[in-house]
Amino acid sequence: MSLEHFAIIESTLREGEQFAGANFTQEQKIELATALDDFGVEFLELSSPVSSPQNEDDVRAIVKLGLRARILTHIRCNREDALRALDTGVHGLDVVIGTSAALRRYSHGKSIDEIIDLARDVLSFVREQAPHIVLRFSTEDSFRSSEADILRVYLAIAELGVVNRLGVADTVGVAAPNQVAQIVSLLRRLTHLDVEFHGHNDSGCAIANAYAALEAGATHIDTTILGIGERNGITPLGGLIARLYMVNREMICNKYHLDRLYALDHRLAEMVGINVPFNNYITGATAFTHKAGIHTKAVLANPETYESIDPADFGLHREIKIAHRLTGWNAIKSRAEELGLSLTDNQLKQITQDIKTLADKHVIDMTDIDDLLHERAAANPELS
Ligand code: HCA
Ligand code: CU
């Protein structure tokens, strides 16, 4: 398990740019690149310089920032794209070519043998041009490609001895964790190269697949902020962090500046015109909200009872909701204490029943609770 030695390839500025709502300006890209660097991601992947003149300028501008994160750009498997990318001064190239029957037929029209010849040519060419650059080779739509075909491709490329890393891409989100683990461990065993996983979320497995990849020995995981990307996107940065926090809290707290996650998610949402979903990992509106009486009683006594993530590790706070029919008297008691009101346990139990009856009739809020508590305390002069 390489769970402690993995690196994040943050692709908000490449895969994320393929999200329907994304139209980043250069200022926004610089803001995101800087914020992701502050968070601590190891790599930033940027759209190919050939995709538009503005994108070329953006790559150059981000390289010039001199961030701690290494800058990669994502290119098709041809010499011209590679030369244009190298000219920008990036630290690494992520080269990709489709290997599934559908992509071979409808996209580039090449056979597996032709793919191998082309990739050998392009990758060796890049290595001659830039002996020290980080070079990755990936097959697009790896999980709908024939396993025999992609193994032939990967082994031929590994044998060349010019790439640092092989990439596996679940381009249309069809893979399940065991399939990801199988191909990743096979590649690690057969090539000893670093292995990267890029997983789309069409069937909701993107985080589990990324985690399975790491467990199987993957060294690099692709993420985007909030998971944005083509269709419904890829492994979200915050979701991967939440998953890894469960396994090794200390490692994840030391490796990244977790208190920056909330701002990253919310700023990105604003830039691409969406809301952070209520159920988002860590930064969603209700991620640390406790409601049922049974839960709130235990959380008030010790938050670990119903929390696997401590919001404080992310600079966030838990919320205890008490204005509803599922409320419990321990939570009401705690609210009375916060307000400095003295009420007996019996009175608090009665107030709780009254609140439940009220909440059965209409939606209530904290003012209703506070009013009731003040009212009963005032009628109780010897205690208040
Ligand atoms: C795409 C390409 C890609 C590339 C992934 C990679 C994918 O279809 O837009 O280079 O590892 O999902 O296959 O994002
Ligand atoms: Cu993708």
Q: Is the CB of 11 under 6 A from ligand 1?
A: no
The conformation of residue 31, written as its DSSP 8-state character, comes to H
Please state, as a whole number, how many other Cβ atoms lie within 10 Å of the Cβ of residue 2. Answer: 17
* 116 token code pair: 């191998």
Identify the CA nearest to 44 among candidates 223, 166, 208, 196.
Answer: 223
Nearest-atom number in ligand 1 for the CA of 171 is: 12
Contacts of 78 (CB under 8 A, 6+ apart): 118, 122
Max Cα distance, the chain (Å): 91
pLDDT (0 to 100) of residue 4: 81
> Is ligand 1 within 6 A of the CB of residue 17?
no
Ligand 1 lined by 94 (C-beta under 6 Å): yes
Residue type (1 letter), 372: L
Ligand 1 midpoint to CA 140 (Å): 6
Q: Report pLDDT for 382.
A: 61
Tell me the angle at which helices 329-338 and 293-301 cross, rounded to the nearest 10 degrees.
50
Cβ atoms < 10 Å from Cβ of 254: 10
Q: Whose CA is nearest to atom 5 of ligand 1?
A: 169
222 Cα nearest atom in ligand 1: 11
DSSP state of 234: B
Q: What pLDDT, on a 0 to 100 scale, did the predictor assign at position 150?
A: 96
Give the H or E element holding residue 125: helix 112-129
- Which burial class, exposed, middle or buried, applies to 43 when counting CB atoms under 10 A from its CB (0-12, 13-18, 19+)? buried
Dump the DSSP string for 141-210: TGGGS-HHHHHHHHHHHHHHT--SEEEEEETTS---HHHHHHHHHHHHHHH--EEEEEEB-TTS-HHHHH
Query: Which pair of structure tokens corresponds to residue 293?
Result: 């009486």
CA pair distance 305, 319, nearest whole angstrom: 15
Q: What is the pLDDT of residue 384?
A: 47
> Amino acid identity of 276?
V
Which amino acid would we find at residue 209? N
**Are 249 and 313 within 8 A, CB to CB?**
yes
Q: Which domains does the chain have, with CATH numbers?
A: 3-272 (3.20.20.70), 289-383 (1.10.238)
In angstroms, the CA 384 to CA 204 distance is 54
Could you tell me how many helices (H) and strands (E) the chain has, helices first? Answer: 15, 10
Q: Shortest CA distance to 165 belongs to which of 191, 204, 199, 127?
A: 191
Mutating to test ligand 1, I would choose from 140, 202, 221 the residue with most ligand atoms within 8 A of its C-beta, which is 140
List, in sequence order, every residue forming a beta bridge with 319; answer none if it has no partner.
289
Q: What is the DSSP letter of 224?
A: B
Q: Checking DSSP bridges between strand 134-140 and strand 319-320, what pairing results, if any?
A: unpaired
Helix, strand, coil proportions of the chain in percent (round to 5)? Answer: 50, 15, 35
What is the full per-residue pLDDT of the chain (384 aa) written as tens digits? 457 889 999 999 999 999 999 999 999 999 999 999 999 999 999 999 999 999 999 999 999 999 999 999 999 999 999 999 999 999 999 999 999 999 888 888 999 999 999 999 999 999 999 999 999 999 999 999 999 999 999 999 999 999 999 999 999 999 999 999 999 999 999 999 999 999 999 999 999 999 999 999 999 999 999 999 999 999 999 999 999 999 999 999 999 999 999 999 999 999 999 999 999 999 999 999 999 999 999 999 999 999 999 999 999 999 999 999 999 999 999 999 999 999 999 999 999 999 999 999 999 999 999 999 999 999 986 654
The Cα–Cα gap between 271 and 236 comes to 16
14 C-alpha to ligand 1 centroid (Å): 10
Token pair, residue 267, equals 């700023």
pTM: 0.96
Query: What one-character-per-residue DSSP string does 53-78 give?
Result: HHHHHHHHHHHHT--SSEEEEEEESS
